[in-house]
Structure 1
Amino acid sequence: MTNPYSPTQWLQLSMQQQGLLQPFGSLPSLLQQLSYVQIDSINVVERAHHHVLHSRLPHYATSMLDEAMGDKTVFEYWSHAAAYLPMEDYRFSLYRKQQLQQGDKHWFEPEHKVMREVKARITAEGPLKASQFKHNADAKAGTWWDWKPAKKALEQLFMQGELMVAKRDKFQKVYDLTERVLPNHIDTTVPSDSEFARHLIKRYLVAHGFGNLQQIQYLRKGLKPLLTQALAQLCEQGDIARFTEPHTRQVYFYLPNLTLPSTIPNKVWLLNPFDNLVIQRQKLKQWFGFDYQIEVYVPEPKRQYGYYSLPILWRDRFVGRVDVKTDRKNQCLLLQQLHFEPGAFSAEESKNEVLSKESLSRDAFVPAFIEAINHYSQFNDCQRWQLVTCNDKAIGKMLHRACK
């Protein structure tokens, strides 16, 4: 079957499925749509998981995530990375937990004696953080991989499903026994191979609209045969459809009942580097022409765009990125490097025939960008923002005037 949509239309559909085009009424309903929100510890600005939710929920406050954990509508576990997930998907976390219980390895070899001691103490005393366990003063101190034995044990028990995260205390996990955290009504039946594969497929396609096998199994090992079989069955049953992308010859799957959004607002979204829409960099580059890489892990001399650059999505185009940092002492959001793509404001470069030259102008972009920056500044508890550098002189002048 031929591709039913253009790249621009696929981006519009992805934006719609990702909850960017319509406000969500609640955090649980949004998380259900997204399937997960990745947790990240970097805090040069507000943390990634809060930013992703802020981008989609009007009046989002970081306390809402704590409340959702307290209400037990959300839980922590591993998706392709550490994540918040909807509690109704809990039983599908049991698939990985069972594998670990049966000897599969996560990060390190289990130390069963320490695990028994750690679990016994939590059983007797209640919820505890890793910092509440004694550290052997003679143990080697070093990198993240040199965790003390108790912390390794806590994480292993968590990954195997014997412990859950009851809450976070200043970003530290507070662990408790699963039976004391998990609501009584939650189904704890371990899904079959087929159920788990279908769950991953449907969750991904609901959240993104379309994707190939590699994208659906993103950072999950050993699932290719199961997913291949489930995808074929779902296509045969008419639950999903497929097409072959002519340049790569890759088969893509999609939901057949999608409806294109009627309008795309003149709005700027400042997306987090770990945002669900941009986390799969190769798909972003191939389909939407945006070659994005987070440079947190790149040595400083080799960085092109800055430590923590946010992708800038304007209407239905990725037009640039901005490296941000909060000066918390002065309550100022620093736009350390604002960089626009070549042809970002050229109608000739646009794949959207509806947008005119005027609607793609800098004069149309700047007010929407200022609104997004103001909103993002407030979210970061900043009273003002400051542009440091910009590769577009005309926009730089307009923004310098706006931030005075």
Structure 2
Amino acid sequence: MTRTPAPAVFLSLAQARRITVASAGPSTADTDTAAVLARLNAVQLDTINTLARAHQLTLATRTRTSTTDVDTALWGKRDPIAFEYPAHAAALVPLHHWPLWAFRRRTSRQRREYPAPGLRKTILDEISSRGPLTLRELRTEREPSGWDWGPTRTAVEFLLWSGELACTHRTGWQRQFDLPQRSVPEKFLTDALTDDDCLTTLLTHAGRTLGTATSDDLADYLRITTATATRLLPDTPLLTTRVENWNSPAWTHPDALPAADQPHQPGEPAFLAPFDNLIWHRPRTTRLFNVTHTLEAYKPAHRRVHGYYVCPLLAGDHLIARADLTHHHDTLTIVRTSFEPGPHPTDTAEHFARACTRLQKTTALRHTVIADNAAPPATVKALNHALNRTRAEQPHP
């Protein structure tokens, strides 16, 4: 049985929250897509495009660029900066992290879904001779498309997971699958690390990204078992930590500690995508911010409490509101919104309006409107007043 060492660090909840936002949240220092990806270690991908793609919002919120700029940095240049891998669900991972996922590639080759030799050879030979291909180009005419996983898609996914295929580029939203020896630099193309070496390094990276986190938080970040994380964490440089009101022991990266006692220097208030790294693990979000955030997009409409594509509003190191967001033509629409208890509603409305302006720039939209039934009349009125003030402050084109 693994025993957690006695705590070396004691943090208040406010300090833990400050460390977390400084480590994983938007920062005034962020400018480059590759640098942000390296800081986060993985950025989740998702097909929902109600407002923008998940990876676009997560990265653009931190780089202060547009969603188009993000995709150009990822896929618009000859040399890739990331590969796609089931790191935390489907995710973009820094290209130089390829060696660290050898443990999952080895495991994938042992799973029962791993393709039979004949199908495996057919797909690899096809890509070898024709060059990078999309799933649409690999499927036979008799196979289902879209969400359905026919034999070809199942085989391709597991060949991606096993490392026999790689995806470092997309055409539109279509993944291009290629042989890793043609798409991953040779210096990274190795499975030499042991499973424990891979996981110890990845836990250290996750600890740096999260700042301070429990074993369960760190395990969720990598989608490994909590037991595995607990066993290996003593071998990392992370410091054992006790956080106020947390029932489980935590771990803190030494580089994150200075932020505990420094006033956070946040950028502008920002809406976080539902798949943003800062709010990946729902129990952690509740523990840190006293906000219960769930993805309701896949629920029937009548069962949704807050809406379809709900984005929490981060101001400083607090989540102060949430909004169900969409767009139509050149307009950002607030379908539904609610304020969290705490800040004065007028202050929240001001932060909300500034975050809308920022989101317009990110998504190349020109206007923001609030649906009449988005919130109680007094809240809608306050938001419209704040939006009007914010518009008046913007320089004319």
Aligned partner of 2:150 in structure 1 is: 148
- Show CA shifts across 1:325-358 (max 9, x none): 1112xx11110001112x232xxxxxxxxxxxxx
Q: 1:67 to 1:266 in 2, by over 3 A?
A: closer
- Which whole-Å deviations, capped at 9, do the CAs of 1:374-402 have from their partners, x for residues lacking one? 12123223211111134354442132245
CA distance in 2, matches of 1:7, 1:298: 32
Contact persistence 1:17–1:207 (CA under 8 A)? yes
1:245 Cα deviation from its structure 2 partner? 4.9
The equivalent of 1:278 in structure 2 is 279
Letter in 1 for 2:336: Q
Give the structure 2 partner of residue 348 of structure 1.
none
TM-score, normalised relative to structure 2: 0.87
Aligned residues: 376
How far apart, in 1, do the equivalents of 2:92 and 2:72 lie? 11
Q: Which moved more, 1:312-321 or 1:204-213?
A: 312-321
Give the match for residue 125 of structure 1. Answer: 130
Structure 2 counterpart of 1:304: 305
Structure 1 pair 363–232 and aligned structure 2 pair: CA distance change class (3 A):
same
- Quote the residue 2:249 is aligned against: 251
Show the counterpart of 1:193.
Answer: 195
What amino acid is aligned across from residue 176 of structure 1 in structure 2?
Answer: D
Instruction: Name the counterpart of 1:104.
Output: 111
Measured in 2, the distance between the counterparts of 1:306 and 1:114 equals 43
Q: Equivalences for 1:358-373 in 2 at 5 Å? A: 361-373=344-356
For residues 279-358 of structure 1, the aligned pairs below 5 Å read 279-328=280-329, 331-341=330-340, 343-345=341-343
Bigger shift: 275-284 or 19-28? 19-28
Match in the other structure for 2:42: 36
In the other structure, the counterpart of 2:358 is: 375
Q: Which residue of 2 aligns with 1:11?
A: 17
Which structure: greater helix fraction? Answer: 2
Partner of 1:352: none
Unaligned stretches of 5+ residues in structure 1: 346-360
**Equivalence for 1:78:** 86
Q: Distance in 2 between matches of 1:84 and 1:266?
A: 24
Distance 1:401 1:248 in 2: 40
1:150-175 Cα offsets, whole Å, 9 max, x none, are 22222222111111114111211111
Cα deviations by residue, 1:97-117 (Å, 9 ceiling, x for unpaired): 11222x125xx3524322211
What's the offset of the Cα at 1:94?
A: 1.8
Q: Offset of 1:370 from its aligned partner?
A: 1.4
Change (3 A) 1:189 1:116: closer
Pairwise CA distance, 1:16: 0.8
Partner of 2:392: none
Preserved CA contact (<8 Å) 2:11 2:242? no
CA distance 1:384–1:71, change in 2 (3 Å): same
Higher relative contact order (CA 8 A, sep 6+): 2
Question: Among the aligned pairs, what percent are the same residue?
Answer: 23
Q: Quick one: distance in 2 between partners of 1:202 and 1:233?
A: 9
Q: TM-score, normalised by structure 1?
A: 0.85
Please tell me whether residue 391 in structure 1 is matched to residue 375 in structure 2: yes
**Are 1:163 and 1:175, in contact at CA under 8 Å, matched by a contact in 2?**
yes
Which amino acid letter does the alignment assign opposite residue 132 of structure 2? P
User: Deviations along 1:62-105, whole A, 9 cap, x unmatched?
Assistant: 3444433442222111112111111111101222111222x125
Asked if structure 1 preserves the Cα contact closer than 8 Å seen for 2:100 and 2:199, the reply is no
Q: In structure 2, do the counterparts of structure 1 residues 255 and 222 end up closer, same or farther at CA, with 3 Å as the change threshold? A: closer
Please report the RMSD computed on the Cα atoms of aligned residues, expressed in angstroms: 2.4
Aligned to 2:394: none
Q: How much has 1:143 moved relative to structure 2?
A: 7.6
Letter in 2 for 1:369: F
Q: Are 2:238 and 2:252, in contact at CA under 8 Å, matched by a contact in 1?
A: yes
Following TM superposition, by how much is the alpha carbon of 1:13 offset from its aligned partner in structure 2, in angstroms?
A: 1.1
1:249 maps to amino acid: N
The alignment status of 1:160 with 2:154, answered yes or no, reads: no
**Which residues of structure 2 form unaligned runs of 5+?**
1-6, 389-397
Structure 2: how far apart are the matches of 1:185 and 1:245?
A: 40
Partner of 1:349: none
Structure 1 residues 99 and 66: CA distance shift in structure 2, 3 A: farther
Deviations 1:209-267 (A, max 9, x none): 11111111117676545433322233xxxx22213457553111112341124344484
- The residue type paired with residue 133 of structure 1 is L
- Contact residue 16 and residue 22 of structure 1 kept, 8 A: no
Distance 2:136 2:24 in 1: 37
Residue 116 of structure 1 corresponds to 121
Secondary structure of the residue aligned to 2:188 is coil
